[in-house]
Amino acid sequence: MKTSQNIASQQSSVFSGESLLLLALKMRTFIALFLILAFFTFMVPGFLAASSVVIMVKHIAINAFLALGITFVIITAGIDLSIGAILGFCGMVAGWLITKGIVLPMFGIAIFPSVWLIVPIVLVIGGLIGAVNGILITRYNVAPFICTLGTMYIVRGASMLLSGGETFTGLSGNEQLGNTGFELIGSAKLLGLPYAIWMMFILAGVIAYIAKRTQFGRHVFAIGDNEHSAELSGVKVRSVKVWVYTISGFCAAIAGIVVSSQLVASHPATGVSFEMNAIAAVVLGGTSLAGGRGTIMGTLIGAFVIGILADGLVMMGVSEFWQMVIKGVVIILAVIIDQKQSRLQHKAAIVQQK
């Protein structure tokens, strides 16, 4: 017969093993980043050359903008499928303002705003689209998936209507009109690094501060953990949710500006399926789709994993079709691992209560 001491010893070893597994799951993003870097460094000559790294991080920044913005949404157990379309639409608005201006038919003139005015206009538009999502979800109880899916189609259609499906080119502006300098956002450098990279780290720092150091950040996590309890404790759930979708739209607008600036052109189809990469980065970074759990650092590392994986596959000459398959597998694995982590954390919490 097994003594109570033996049983306790066995239980202790089981829980110790599960604790190690839980720690590994929590560190999965860093482990994945290390493994991917090691693999591509071995397979692709010059993969970690300084020039290649800068180019990769520029690509990663676009997905990071979207992923950082949508992290709060997912922490509240929501979803935002419209961010790719918002990215494309905001780029089109910037292109329209630079090339067409604001036409005033009654006066027979067109006003061409400066870049310093175009950027805040576009950011406000992105934030407003996100706010509309939040209002529809909170005021009219539309499911986030359905609401943002509908918004995605509406905004994508608006992008097509804005230019008749054509591309706005030559976004460098015209010196006589005083609207030059837009391309500098995507091409200029500070201390040897492109502006986009600095913007990515600054945005990550600001959002991380909001998440960890502000009452709003605590309310976001409280809503994701238990929305009803949060409301009973005085959290203005509707207001917080509207703001998280506003932040998501705002960050998508940043990405739209950077992409259009880098291309010096804006196309209505820009950003198609970008939301999938952003969601994959967030989930891979440890944010639970069920809400209540997530970190900004994890999201940023998740964006690096997705970005390095994508660029590494391109550098290896892997077919675009296989790239889609691999990304899909990564998303599914990320969700499976997230569910496993949730179960282990729940089990550990029950054991601690005993």
Which amino acid appears at position 35 of this protein?
L
* CATH top-level class of 50-345: mainly alpha
Q: Where are the domains of the chain?
A: 50-345
Per-residue pLDDT, 207: 96
Summarize the confidence of residues 328-339 as an average pLDDT: 79
pLDDT > 90: what percent of the chain? 53
This prediction has a pTM of: 0.89
Per-residue pLDDT, 244: 97
d(CA 198, CA 194): 7
Angle subtended at Cα 156 by Cα 181 and Cα 320, rounded to the nearest 5 degrees: 85
Tell me the pLDDT tens digit for each residue of 57-99: 999 999 999 999 999 999 999 999 999 999 999 999 999 999 9
Which amino acid appears at position 244 of this protein?
V
CB atoms within 10 A of CB 308: 22
Q: Name the strand (E) or helix (H) holding 256.
A: helix 237-263
SS3 content of the chain, % helix, strand, coil (to 5): 75, 5, 20
Over 60: is that where the pLDDT of 11 sits? no
Mean pLDDT of the chain: 87
